[in-house]
Amino acid sequence: MLPRGLNMRSTAKKPIISKEQPGNPCQELLLALSDRETTLRILADDDPELRGLLLDKAEVCRLEVMGKQVYPRALIEFSNQCALNCFYCGLRRDNSDLLRYHLSVDEIVELALQAWDMGLHSLALQSGEVHDENEVPFVIEVVKRVKQATSRDGTSGMGITLSIGELGFDAYRALFEAGAHRYLLRIETSDPDLFRRIHPPSQSYERRLECLSYLKEIGYQVGTGVMVGLPGQSYEQLASDLEFFRAWDIDMLGMGPYITHPGTPLSRSRLPIIAHPFATTLKMIALARLTMPEINIVCSTALQTINPAGLSLGIKAGANVVMPVMTPDEHRREYSLYAHKKYSSLDRLVKNIADLGYEVALDSWGDSRHYFKRQGLAYPVQ
């Protein structure tokens, strides 16, 4: 039986969260969801009514705290070269069927300028992980040139998120000083044993935590996330993932359902998979929104790939960031993290989001409110 005040099957007229409730409208649910057993029951229950009510509560919380704005990040996947061999990823080093590419500085800056002129003033630069002494200086040059090219009339130019993997403290600091201010480093699972099952021995769970610590110490807005529906993953581990996000006090979150890639060892796993990874991902987003109401949450491409309703349900569950892809058409197929990846143009995203009653916040960085709160700073006018 769920705790009092969280009878998600109930159709009681009095809402759990109401506009009249003083202070943070998520506090009542936060108290209930701090009980691990409640979180487990919600994740494991496949009743559509429960899921619908949970998403309703998450949407109310999101509207009260974050408003109707959805922040776009122009995503440039500038390289699919990777030195790692993650068992789940199509970019893995040993995937010899993949045609490798790496955009030049000029190509990336040109794409960033195209995005800027479209009203996309926030950029996400993503790549495979390259252990080359020239790669960090390359990205530093990209960041500096993008900032210089878009800093007009005394403005701060483009907001920049990086997602290029595990680096050393000095490298992270140099990138931050160049102008990048957000960093996404997904943990993929907070369970050390599961982490080891989906990575080769050369990759360390402790190293990933060390890198997250570096990012936070330097002053980045820090993002992480997990895959939902990994072979052998349990609801207990997913509940622990939510606790991990809160314990690390993260600013940004990216979660998506695990989608297999035929060129990976994990695609051949015979371990059981939880029921309904798509629905469970929606519940994970909703639970994260309710318990961390001011963080930024991405409506992942994987969520939109696995189900045609991924965008609408992801937004309803509490996601407030989307990533229109600026990667050149000739390279999109080769940035193959998983199979059958789908893309939506900015025009389509704007229209679909407007149809949901939300608005895409163009000409905005869309930084994490939580970051400014934990730093004791006023949230800047967007």
131 band by pLDDT with thresholds 50, 70 and 90:
confident
Question: Quick count: other Cβ atoms within 10 Å of Cβ 12?
Answer: 8
Task: Provide the pLDDT for residue 32.
Answer: 59
Q: What is the mean pLDDT of residues 39-68?
A: 93
SS3 at position 187: coil
Cα 61 from Cα 293, distance rounded (Å): 7
36 band by pLDDT with thresholds 50, 70 and 90:
confident
Is residue 20 over pLDDT 50? no
Question: Quick count: other Cβ atoms within 10 Å of Cβ 19?
Answer: 9
Task: Provide the pLDDT for residue 77.
Answer: 97
CB neighbours of 376 closer than 8 A, spacing ≥ 6? none
Instruction: Work out the angle between the directed axes of helices 277-291 and 235-247 (0-180°, nearest 10).
Output: 30
Task: Provide the pLDDT for residue 155.
Answer: 78
Is residue 29 over pLDDT 80? no
Task: Provide the pLDDT for residue 11.
Answer: 36
Domain boundaries, the chain: 69-374
37 band by pLDDT with thresholds 50, 70 and 90:
confident
Tokens representing residue 314 in the block: 């992801």
Q: What is the mean pLDDT of residues 336-345?
A: 86
Task: Provide the pLDDT for residue 345.
Answer: 87
Pick the more confident residue, 19 or 278.
Answer: 278
Could you read off the pLDDT of 80-129 as tens digits, one per residue?
999 999 999 999 999 999 999 999 999 999 999 999 999 999 999 999 99
Tokens representing residue 33 in the block: 């969801």
User: How far lies 82's CA from each of 21, 90, 320, in Å?
Assistant: 49, 10, 29
275 band by pLDDT with thresholds 50, 70 and 90:
very high
Task: Provide the pLDDT for residue 21.
Answer: 44
27 band by pLDDT with thresholds 50, 70 and 90:
low
Q: What is the mean pLDDT of residues 246-253?
A: 97
19 band by pLDDT with thresholds 50, 70 and 90:
very low
Could you read off the pLDDT of 296-308 as tens digits, one per residue?
999 999 999 999 9
Could you read off the pLDDT of 182-224 as tens digits, one per residue?
999 999 999 999 999 999 999 999 999 999 999 999 999 999 9
Could you read off the pLDDT of 64-76 as tens digits, one per residue?
999 999 999 999 9
Task: Provide the pLDDT for residue 35.
Answer: 76
Pick the more confident residue, 10 or 372.
Answer: 372
% of the chain at pLDDT higher than 90 = 84
312 band by pLDDT with thresholds 50, 70 and 90:
very high
Kindly report the average pLDDT of the chain as a whole number: 91
Is the distance from CB of 41 to CB of 51 less than 8 angstroms?
no
CB neighbours of 321 closer than 8 A, spacing ≥ 6? 70, 71, 72, 73, 252, 296, 297, 298, 299, 366
Task: Provide the pLDDT for residue 16.
Answer: 33
Q: Could you give the count of Cα atoms lying within 13 Å of 248 in the half-sphere of its Cβ?
A: 30
SS3 at position 109: helix
Q: What is the mean pLDDT of residues 282-293?
A: 96
Q: What is the mean pLDDT of residues 143-159?
A: 90
CATH-assigned architecture of domain 69-374:
Alpha-Beta Barrel (3.20)
Is the distance from CB of 65 to CB of 26 less than 8 angstroms?
yes
% of the chain at pLDDT higher than 70 = 91
